[in-house]
Amino acid sequence: MKNTNKLTICQWAEEDRPREKMMAKGANALSDAELLAILIGSGNTEESAVELMRRILVSCHNDLNELAHWDVRDYSRFKGFGPAKSITIMAALELGKRRKLQEVKERDTIGCSKDIYEIFHPLMCDLELEEFWVLLMNQANKVIDRVRMSTGGIAGTFVDVRSILREALLQRATQIAVIHNHPSGNCCPSKEDRALTQRIQSAAQTMNIGLIDHVVVCDGKYYSFADEGLI
What residues does each domain of the chain span?
9-102, 108-224
Question: What CA–CA distance (Å, rounded) separates 104 from 79?
Answer: 38
CB 32 within 8 Å of CB 55: no
Residue 216's nearest CA partner among 206, 230, 199 is 230
Average pLDDT over residues 204-217: 96
Whose CA is closest to 211, among 142, 166, 165, 171? 165
Query: Is the pLDDT assigned to residue 186 strictly greater than 60?
Result: yes
CB 176, CB 204: distance < 8 Å: yes
24 SS3 class: helix
Q: What is the rounded CA–CA span in Å between residue 223 and residue 22?
A: 40
Terminal Cα distance for the chain, rounded = 74
Compute the Cα dihedral for 68, 116, 147, 162 and give only its sign. negative
Length of the chain in terms of residues written: 231
Question: pLDDT tens digits, residue range 78-117?
Answer: 998 999 999 999 999 988 888 776 665 555 789 999 999 9
Pick the CATH number of 108-224 from 1.10.150.120, 3.40.140.10, 3.20.20.120, 3.90.980.10: 3.40.140.10
What is the rounded average pLDDT for all residues in the chain?
87
| pLDDT of 169 higher than 80 | yes
List the one residue out of 37, 42, 41, 38 whose CA is nearest residue 56.
Answer: 37
